[in-house]
Structure 1
Amino acid sequence: MGPRSLTVRVLLLATVWYAAALVTIAVVISALYRQGAERAFNDLLRAQLYNVINSVSIGDGDSLSGSPSLGDLRFSQPETGWYWLVEPLGNFAAAPMASTSLGTANLPVPSTEETPFDQSYERFYGMSDEFGNRLRVAETEVILDEGGRAARFRVSGNLISVEEEIQAFSTRLYAALAVFGFGGLLVNGLAILYGLKPLDRARRALEAIRGGEAERIEGQFPREIEPLANEINALIDSNRRIVERARMQVGNLAHSLKTPIAVLLNESRVLKKPHGEVVKSQAEAMQAQVASYLNRARIAAQRESVLARCEADPVLERLTRVMRRLNPDKEFELDVAAPGLVFAMEQQDLEETIGNLLENAARYAASRVKVAVGVAASGEEGVDPARRQWIEVTIEDDGPGLEPDQIVEALKRGRRLDESKPGTGLGLSIVKEISTEYQGAFGLSRAISGGLRARLLLPGVSKDAA
């Protein structure tokens, strides 16, 4: 299907077309110049031919006489390929005349069937002499007197001079076209890159939207791109309305269930055991589910907003301080590798996520819980690659830890591996849901100390955006 980059496609097509056009121009100009040079060469031979004709006549003793002076030394130098030759025809038995350059050599005469005369009774043809020169010959036949005696007049020129001239012209032409072509391709490439630059701005605007740094495509765009930007903004608004409508429907449903659930909880207190305990536990589970879906609806409405911001340091310090008070027999260590981090999420969601993990770690830790916060490495799997920054939060305890199959069970909603401990079994599933709603990631593994290690990837905000 070709390159996926629009810039590469346009540059490639423009380069191919430009190169093909330059090659075609070079070939056409070279051919036209060759035709012109050969025509000029023929005109030169014709002029020399008629100079010879005007210089030769029948003298005393019925012999050919005259001394053609063509003004070219090559006609007097041997083996140059520049010759003139006058040969009697028919019953005219005079001796032929030839230029000094021809010497005792002779030039063969092609048949008129092979090379006929034109309307001016002239003909031009090519041949090679005895010395290997490629010749161009101009020939005509002229009646010299009233008695009808005639002679064949021929003048030849060496084609090497024409070929050298054509070669020199072609070399200069190709060099000029190469320089012009390279410059043209450079200018053409810059023009294409400049023309496609608004598309790059549109791409960056979309990245800013996906990264939570903007809510719409802003800025001025060319007329060809502006309709696309408007349609994308309209699509974003439509999607936001759909999400808001769904959130409202979920919220209305959840609120409508809160009162019946509260009634069930009140009635469970007056029911006899064990029926009262069953109704109470199920009503509490329903209440937790309703709260969870309310939170998910709220997160869905807020996660794409640039207003969802939460500083990491004060929230984490407050949570660890509370856990130290609630668990005085255990040590809580907070390590923030990059101070000043800002989460792109609501403070309530961050507190619920970290709080659930801290409570779980404190419940099973032997004596120590460590919280580490830092910027995640680029290229993390399982997260949105369009966001510019992700924050990694790890919480480790020195408790008994979990086996891989136990980790799978622990992440299921409502599952409790240790029934002796208090809780509803919803904490870890809530953490997973919140991180997923913010397009992050959550996982459990065994810590180096042997306990449980919880790792969170949550969306962050770059300092420029913050």
Structure 2
Amino acid sequence: MYVRSVTARVLLLATAWSGVALVVIALVISALYTKSAERAFTDLLRAQLYNVVNSITIGEDNALAGNPQLGDLRFSQPETGWYWIVEPLGTFAATPLSSSSLGTSNIKVPSILNVPFNNRYERFYPAIDAFGNNVLVAETEVVLDSEGRAARFRVTGNLTVVTEDVQAFTQSLYIALVVFGLGSLVVNGLAILFGLRPLDEARRALEKVRRGEAERLEGEFPREVHALTIEMNALIDSNRRIVERARSQVGNLAHSLKTPIAVLLNESRLIDKGRGDVVRGQAEAMQSQVQSYLNRARIAAQRESMLARTDAEPVLERLMRVMRRLNPDKTFELIATQANLALAMEQQDVEETVGNLLENAARHSKSGVWLTIMPSLAPEGEDPARRNWVEIAVEDDGPGLNPDEIKEAMKRGRRLDESKPGTGLGLSIVGEIAREYQGRFRLSRGRRGGLRAVLTLPGISRDAA
């Protein structure tokens, strides 16, 4: 599964690596300690073996004599697994000697072929005593006098000592490594969060630019992030120059077309009424279409910038006041379900789209127009996590439109009511502006029986951080 968060990704990798490293370290240290404990146990048995060898002699009665003092009470306690045994070899027919811990039992001796002696004429092999103890046997054979009489010396130690020692060490080791691992996880998490904090600061600075609170990325950033902020500021400056150049070109084009269109409109008044009305209507349509395409060019340039912002409620309230003055016989009501909503649009585009809808609603309403603004879900195909969205609905109590009429009304230049003034471009212009901002515009029949026009536009919430 792909992890989108850099912090989570780094923390996950660091945790996985730390876990694997700690497991490997635990296994290696445990294995090394086990070998060290076994080697120390073998050395102890060897020392005790030669202590027994040095303590045994042949007495005057040709019998084995001696009393080894190994300094360990376990050699005198029964069934402990700690024994020493001296057995005569060959023709030497003396009575064997053994520690009191062994009692009358004995330990089986493997053949030399199965367990050979080493170069020091010693051999070590595991065995099980008569009491079920797992023991390690250290054995050697020594010539005791000049007559060649020899004996086999064996010393055993209980392997439980090694096992318990290794288990206690391993348990302590695992506890220490777990505590160290948890501490390392916390420290790694804090280090990663602290190390990646400049990225969050850069994100917040960029968000301020997007919300229109700043014009550039500002702040102190480390060297690795500073280069990114330089490139982002360069991109913002480039976008700003594109917008300014587009606005300049739009202004120049509007100025160059203003006079010819005005001349056509004036000349249409001097022509006889039939032809004059035709020329005037076409000139007005041309003026509206030119303005529409100029707006689209301006919006396309503005869309490259991240600085567009308009507080929705004050602009809509101002439009409603204008409509109340123009239509004193009708009611205009503004309903805002959430305060402090802002649109990621130029104010001029907000006024043009909503103004067109209000004019159309006022023209066909019977008694009133209702304007509602609220947060909205993202339009289909848009990422809901990328930005906030705002819905603006304009509804009247007029005759409304059926589905076929709605399709015709959305077409450029189509007018369903020829008895009322207009060019038939208002709704199509609204739809074009909404699409330029990646928004959505739709018509339907409202609850009051009239037409309901809904705009879904990109928004910015002041409370978003």
TM-score > 0.5 by shorter chain: yes
Return the offset for 1:25: 1.1
- Number of aligned residue pairs: 463
Give the secondary structure class of the aligned counterpart of 2:223.
coil
* Residues 271-295 of structure 1: per-residue CA shift (max 9 Å, x gap): 5676554443332211112222333
89 and 441 in structure 1: CA distance in 2 versus 1, 3 angstrom threshold: same
Aligned 8 A contact 2:343 2:458 in 1 = yes
Corresponding residue number in structure 2 for 1:78:
78
Aligned residue in 2 for 1:449: 448
* TM-score after normalising by structure 2: 0.89
Distance in 1 (alpha carbons) for counterparts of 2:458 and 2:116: 91
Tell which deviates more after alignment, 254-263 or 376-385: 376-385
Query: Considering only aligned residues, what root-mean-square deviation do their CA atoms show, in Å?
Result: 2.9
Letter in 2 for 1:182: L
- Deviation track 1:386-415 (CA, whole Å, cap 9, x = no partner) reads 687655433211111122333233223222
SS of aligned partner of 2:320: helix
CA spacing shift, 1:186–1:260, aligned 2, 3 Å: same
Whole-angstrom distance in 1 between the partners of 2:84 and 2:338: 97
Q: Contact 1:139–1:152 at 8 Å: present in 2 too?
A: yes
Letter in 2 for 1:393: I
Which amino acid is 1:394 matched to?
Answer: A
The CA distance in 2 between the partners of 1:217 and 1:208, in whole Å, is 8
1:171 corresponds to: 171
Equivalent AA in structure 1 for residue 37 of structure 2 = A
Shift of 1:156: 0.4
SS in 2 for 1:231: helix
- After TM superposition, give the deviation of residue 377 of structure 1 in Å: 4.7
> What aligned pairs does 1:35-434 form with structure 2 within 5 A after superposition?
35-270=35-270, 276-299=276-299, 304=305, 309=310, 312-313=313-314, 315-337=315-337, 345-373=345-373, 375-377=374-376, 385=384, 391-434=390-433
Look up the equivalent residue of 1:80 and give its one-letter code: T
State the one-letter code of the partner of 1:225.
Answer: V
Identical aligned residues as a percent: 68
Tell me the amino acid that sits aligned with residue 409 of structure 1.
E
Contact 1:397–1:451 (8 Å) recurs in 2: yes
Q: Contact 2:243/2:302 (CA < 8 Å) preserved in 1?
A: no
SS in 1 for 2:216: coil
Mind listing any 5+ residue stretches in structure 2 that lack a counterpart? none
State the 1:307 CA deviation. Answer: 7.8
- The answer to whether the 8 Å contact 1:310/1:343 transfers is yes
1:371 offset after TM fit, Å?
2.6
Query: Could you tell me how far 1:72 is from its partner in structure 2?
Result: 1.9
Residue 227 of structure 1: how far off its partner (Å): 1.0
**Partner of 1:225: helix, strand, or coil?**
helix
In 2, Cα distance between the equivalents of 1:430 and 1:340? Answer: 27
Residues 126 and 137 of structure 1 are in contact (CA less than 8 Å); yes or no, is this contact kept in structure 2?
A: yes
The 1:342–1:56 alpha-carbon spacing in structure 2 relative to 1, beyond 3 Å, is: closer
Which TM-score applies when normalising by structure 1? 0.89
Which segment drifts farther, 215-224 or 26-35?
A: 215-224
Q: What runs of 5+ residues in structure 1 fail to find an aligned partner?
A: none
In structure 2, C-alpha distance between the alignment counterparts of 1:219 and 1:384, rounded to whole Å = 29
Note the alpha carbon deviations across 1:123-159, whole angstroms, 9 max, x for none. 2111212222111111111110011111110000110
TM-aligned CA deviation for residue 200 of structure 1: 1.9
Displacement, 1:4? 2.2
Question: Is the Cα contact below 8 Å between 1:376 and 1:457 reproduced in 2?
Answer: no
Aligned partner of residue 61 in structure 2, secondary structure: helix
Question: For each residue in 1:28-57, what CA deviation from the matched residue of structure 2 results, as whole angstroms up to 9, or x when unmatched?
Answer: 111111111111111111111111111111
Please state how far the C-alpha of 1:462 moved relative to its aligned partner.
4.7
> In structure 1, what is the Cα distance between the partners aligned to 2:240 and 2:383?
19
Q: 1:251·1:297 contact (CA, 8 Å) conserved in 2?
A: no
Which segment is superposed worse, 101-110 or 444-453?
101-110
1:421 CA displacement: 1.9
Separation (CA, whole Å) in 2 of partners of 1:91 and 1:31: 46
CA–CA separation in structure 2 for the residues paired with 1:199 and 1:94: 88
Aligned equivalents of 2:155 and 2:99: distance in 1? 10
Structure 2 CA distance, aligned partners of 1:305 and 1:324?
Answer: 34
Any conservation in 2 of the 1:397–1:453 contact (CA below 8 Å)? yes
Q: Which digits, 9 at most, give the CA deviation of each residue in 1:187-237, with x for residues without a partner?
A: 111111111121122223333333444333222211111111211222222
Amino acid at match of 1:188: N
- 95-104 or 165-174, which moves further after superposition? 95-104
Deviation at 1:463, TM superposition (A): 4.9
Distance 1:390 1:382 in 2: 13
Alpha-carbon distance between aligned partners in 1 of 2:329 and 2:136, rounded to the nearest angstrom = 113
Change in Cα spacing, 1:385 to 1:205, as seen in structure 2 (3 Å) is farther
- Distance of 2:383 and 2:292 partners within structure 1: 23
Residue 181 of structure 1 and its aligned partner are, at CA, apart by: 0.9
The Cα shift of 1:113 comes to 3.0
Query: Is 205-214 or 216-225 further displaced after alignment?
Result: 205-214
CA contact (8 A) 1:214 1:305 kept: no
